[in-house]
């Protein structure tokens, strides 16, 4: 697999998963490029580095010596680069910029903006060294959220509506053939809540309809069950007597005031209820028919160390 | 040169201001009861519960006597159904089963962005011209998928609802949800962006050949048109010109409306509620938002912190619970499991407090209301009512 595209509903941790996947892919001496396309500088924040310019920069070293590079793609810079690279029109590009053409074009024709963003990913994915080897072993794209992903990747359709022939159209066709190819996978990040799971299902249906290759579903922030299923059922059915809890507290040498007992029981009931809902959503995810990967909830939130843990989890599950 | 300003005693910054007890409380009921507040805008990054928060605020306002309408952007299906939002006709509908005993009512609608845009075009152009615009491929792309269109149309719809509210007496409060943008700030910029776009040199440039083909073109203009033709092909340029020419008569109206909406957001009758969750990303977006609102002179009511972890046993620390759980794991496995659960919760609470303190240190005057994490999803009026009660601490 050469191109991994990661999407998900806002708030599910799509950038975190894209970064963890990129780190996992880089392990063992490979060179990976992680791109973001939304101008949010999420990667820089995650890796705690200065905001990324429009330039590929090494931001982390993977276990066993791989290199992770990152790039924040800016559509206007991408257009200037594109004009220069394919038409040798650097000066004209600046003139276009001065007249507000680039801003206008990327605004009025969103398909064009997407061609520029995906076009840069396409270029990086296929770039080779003089010795014919690819520069990057794989590229990971932190893509727009599920609600916009099919339209974002289906640039061909957008462009076809605007330009029937011409260089932009050809560029769109070339990008599309990479997006649809066996070397590309689109992964979806979700959490086990109703709305994100529903959006994941909708996005998979849209992607399939557009002939785009769906990869794995990554369930993020999976809670570790502190109580087994039998205990959870008993708690949900109100069958755990106060005295049983009190006995445990006394044995542990803790305060056994009613406030403590009621507090623990209330927490356990919330937990049981939440896990029951998650199990229900988990069954929905199972029915989506895609490979499933799971990432645990990190107690201390996400930091660089946490990212390496998540990367190791993805490797263990065979995603990278 | 202006004379140096005398330093006024500003808000306290640094560790002193960052005590959680010093954070002013956002009194949501007072906000909802304030008849001077006629628009509440809920904003924040994606996935923080903006839609639920807007619906909950609108419902609470309605049940306390306001005649409210809530504009939602993309509600969860079951929540939409429970509010009767199954008809996509882009007009507000009455929500059933709302307690109207205090004299209030609740209407709700879901934004249809393309339809809103079409309606604006139809309202401002002659029928023939409107048909021509609606059929243009550039208009279709712009109205259905421009990344800022949803933001712009949300603001357009807000403007419409506001005019309707003023004309009749159907509503005295509009609650607006904002789109899940690339950045939470996009909707503030969308009207401005569109109007500056339509004002730009390029529009004049593109209109020039259509208006006077014999006009002399400057060298710069020729460079630009040549470049466009070379990259996009001549057909594209012609389509854009047709679109721009057809749209020409509408530009003035668009700009005016964009400016009116922007002014409305700054008006005294508007209150912004920034919604966030106690996580670093979300609070960072919230901080950007708070700073932007204050820079633009927009009225911030406060922060609504959603999904806050509550510790029902504050005296039992993470360390105590963890050690105790290990000690009794063999003999009392269920209590041990409960203690581990509590330990996790105590740790989350500590982490969230750290983040909240950090936010408060930089923004000590932002009033805040809290909604604790619910074990279940909210998808009916009862759930919205519960959120409304939690947000005022009832």
pLDDT above 60 for B4: no
A104 contact residues in B (CB cutoff 8 A): 197, 200, 202-203
Among the partner-chain residues B202, B243, B280, the one whose CB lies closest to the CB of A99 is: B202
Out of B48, B146, B320, closest to residue A107 by CB? B146
Comparing CA positions, the residue from B197, B209, B193 lying closest to residue B242 is: B209
Q: Do A163 and B280 lie within an 8 Å CB cutoff?
A: no
Confidence of residue A84 (pLDDT cuts 50, 70, 90): confident
pLDDT score of B14: 45
The label of the residue with tokens 């390496």 reads A308
- pLDDT reading at A99 higher than 90: no
Does the pLDDT at position B142 exceed 80? no
Residue B319 pLDDT grade (very low, low, confident, very high; cuts 50, 70, 90): very high
Beta strand A57-61 with A67-72 is antiparallel
DSSP string, A116-181: HHHHHHHHHHH-B-TTS-BS-SEEEEEPPPHHHHHHHH-HHHHHHHH-SSSHHHHHHHHHHHHHTS
pLDDT at B309: 94
- Pick the residue from chain B with its C-alpha nearest to A79: B231
d(CA B231, nearest CA chain A) in Å: 6
Q: Are B23 and B11 in contact (CB under 8 A)?
A: no
**Which DSSP string do the residues of A211-242 spell out, in sequence order?**
T--EEEEEEEEEPPPSS-HHHHHHHHTT-S-H
| Cα atoms found within 13 Å of the Cα of residue A206, Cβ hemisphere only | 17
Q: Render B56-101 in DSSP notation, one character per residue.
A: HHHHHHHHTT-EEEEEESS--HHHHHHTTTT--SSS-EEPTT---T
Quote the percentage of chain B above a pLDDT of 90.
46
Find the helix packing angle between A155-162 and A167-179, rounded to 10°.
Answer: 160
Q: Alpha helix locations (H) across chain B?
A: 28-33, 50-63, 77-82, 113-124, 127-135, 137-145, 149-167, 186-199, 201-211, 219-232, 234-266, 280-295, 318-327, 333-362, 381-391
Partner A contacted by B361 (CB < 8 A): no
B93 contacts B81 by C-beta, under 8 angstroms:
no
Chain-chain contact of B231 with A147 (C-beta, under 8 angstroms) = no
Residues 6+ apart with CB under 8 A from A18: A4, A6, A34, A36, A140, A141, A142
User: If pLDDT is split at 50, 70 and 90, which confidence band does B12 have?
Assistant: very low
CB-based contact A266 B331, cutoff 8 Å? no
pTM of the model: 0.86
Average pLDDT over residues B63-77: 90
Query: Residue A173 above 90 pLDDT?
Result: no
B positions 315-354 inside 8 Å of A (CB): 315-316, 320, 324-325, 327-328, 331-342, 344-345, 347-348, 351
pLDDT at B109: 93
Q: Which of B193, B197, B313 sits opposite A259 (nearest CB)?
A: B313
Q: H or E stretch including A198? A: helix A194-209
Lowest mean pLDDT among B10-19, B82-91, B299-308, B313-322: B10-19
B140 at interface of A, judged by CB pairs closer than 8 A? yes
What's phi and psi for B298, nearest 5 deg? -100, 140
Do the Cβ atoms of A80 and A93 come closer than 8 Å?
yes
Segment among A15-19, A187-191, B378-382 with least mean pLDDT: B378-382
Overall average pLDDT of the A303-318 stretch = 94
- Write out pLDDT tens, residues A105-121: 666 666 677 888 999 99
Question: In whole angstroms, what is the distance from residue B145 CA to residue A285 CA?
Answer: 28
Instruction: Among A36-40, A86-90, B142-146, B213-217, name the one with the lowest average pLDDT.
Output: B213-217
Tell me the pLDDT band of A154, cut-offs 50, 70 and 90.
confident
Q: What band does B273 get if pLDDT is binned at 50, 70 and 90?
A: very high
Tell me whether residues A151 and B145 touch, CB distance under 8 A: yes
What pLDDT does B244 receive?
A: 76
Non-local (6+) Cβ contacts of B210 within 8 A are B241, B244, B245
């Amino acid at each position: 697999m050469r191109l991994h595209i990661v999407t998900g509903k806002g708030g599910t941790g799509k950038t975190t998963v894209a970064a963890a996947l990129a780190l996992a892919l880089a392990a063992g001496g490979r060179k990976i490029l992680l791109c973001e396309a939304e101008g949010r500088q999420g990667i820089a924040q995650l890796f705690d580095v200065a905001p990324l310019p429009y330039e590929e920069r090494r931001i982390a070293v993977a276990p066993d010596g791989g290199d992770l590079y990152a790039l924040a793609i800016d559509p206007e810079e991408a257009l200037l680069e594109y004009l220069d690279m394919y038409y040798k029109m650097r000066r004209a590009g600046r003139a276009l910029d001065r007249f507000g053409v680039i801003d206008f074009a990327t605004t009025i024709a969103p398909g064009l903006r997407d061609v520029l963003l995906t076009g840069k990913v396409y270029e990086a994915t296929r770039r080779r060294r003089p010795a014919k080897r690819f520069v990057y072993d794989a590229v990971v794209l932190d893509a727009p959220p599920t609600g916009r992903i099919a339209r974002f990747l289906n640039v061909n359709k957008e462009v076809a509506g605007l330009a029937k022939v011409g260089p932009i159209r050809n560029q769109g066709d070339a990008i599309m053939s990479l997006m649809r190819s066996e070397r590309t996978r689109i992964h979806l990040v979700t959490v086990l809540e109703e709305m994100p799971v529903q959006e994941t299902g909708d996005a998979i249906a849209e992607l399939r309809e557009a002939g785009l290759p769906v990869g794995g579903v990554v369930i993020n922030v999976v809670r570790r069950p502190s109580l087994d299923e039998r205990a959870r059922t008993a708690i949900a059915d109100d069958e755990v007597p106060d005295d049983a809890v009190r006995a445990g507290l006394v044995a542990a040498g803790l305060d056994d005031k009613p406030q403590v007992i009621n507090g623990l029981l209330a927490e356990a009931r919330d937990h049981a209820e939440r896990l029951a809902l998650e199990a229900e959503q988990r069954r929905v995810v199972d029915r989506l028919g895609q490979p499933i990967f799971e990432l645990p909830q990190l107690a201390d939130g996400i930091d660089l160390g946490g990212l390496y843990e998540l990367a190791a989890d993805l490797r263990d599950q065979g995603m990278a | 040169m202006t004379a140096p300003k005398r330093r006024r005693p500003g808000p306290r910054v640094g560790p002193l201001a960052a005590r959680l007890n010093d954070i002013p409380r956002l009194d949501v009921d007072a906000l909802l009861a304030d008849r001077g507040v006629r628009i509440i805008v809920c904003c924040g990054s994606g996935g923080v519960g903006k839609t639920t928060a807007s619906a909950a605020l609108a419902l609470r306002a309605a049940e306390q006597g306001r005649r409210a309408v809530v504009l939602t952007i993309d509600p969860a299906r079951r929540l939409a159904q429970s509010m009767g939002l199954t008809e996509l006709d882009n007009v507000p509908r009455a929500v059933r089963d709302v307690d109207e005993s205090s004299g209030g009512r609740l209407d709700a609608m879901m934004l249809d962005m393309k339809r809103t845009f079409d309606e604006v075009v139809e309202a401002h152009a002659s029928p023939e011209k409107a048909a021509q615009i609606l059929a243009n491929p550039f208009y279709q792309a712009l109205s259905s998928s421009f990344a800022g269109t949803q933001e712009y149309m949300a603001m357009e719809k807000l403007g419409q609802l506001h005019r309707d509210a003023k004309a009749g007496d159907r509503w005295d409060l509009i609650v607006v949800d904002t789109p899940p943008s690339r950045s939470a700030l996009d909707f503030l910029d969308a009207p401005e962006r569109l109007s500056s776009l339509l004002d730009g040199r390029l529009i004049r440039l593109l209109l020039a050949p259509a208006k006077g083909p014999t006009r002399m073109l400057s060298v710069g203009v020729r460079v630009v048109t040549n470049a466009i033709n070379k990259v996009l092909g001549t057909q594209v340029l012609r389509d854009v010109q047709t679109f721009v020419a057809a749209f020409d008569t509408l530009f003035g109206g668009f700009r005016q409306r964009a400016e009116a909406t922007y002014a409305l957001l700054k008006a005294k009758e508007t209150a912004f509620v920034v919604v966030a969750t106690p996580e670093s990303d979300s609070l960072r977006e919230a901080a950007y938002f708070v700073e932007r609102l204050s820079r633009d002179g927009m009225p911030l009511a406060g922060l609504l912190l959603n999904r806050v972890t509550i510790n029902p046993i504050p005296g039992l620390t993470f360390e105590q619970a963890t050690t105790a759980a290990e000690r009794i794991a063999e003999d009392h496995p269920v209590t041990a499991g409960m203690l581990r659960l509590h330990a996790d919760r105590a740790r989350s609470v500590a982490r969230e407090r750290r983040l909240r303190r950090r936010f408060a240190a930089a923004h000590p005057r932002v009033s805040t209301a809290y909604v604790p994490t619910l074990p279940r999803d909210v998808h009916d009026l009862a759930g919205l009512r519960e959120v409304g009660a939690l947000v005022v601490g009832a």
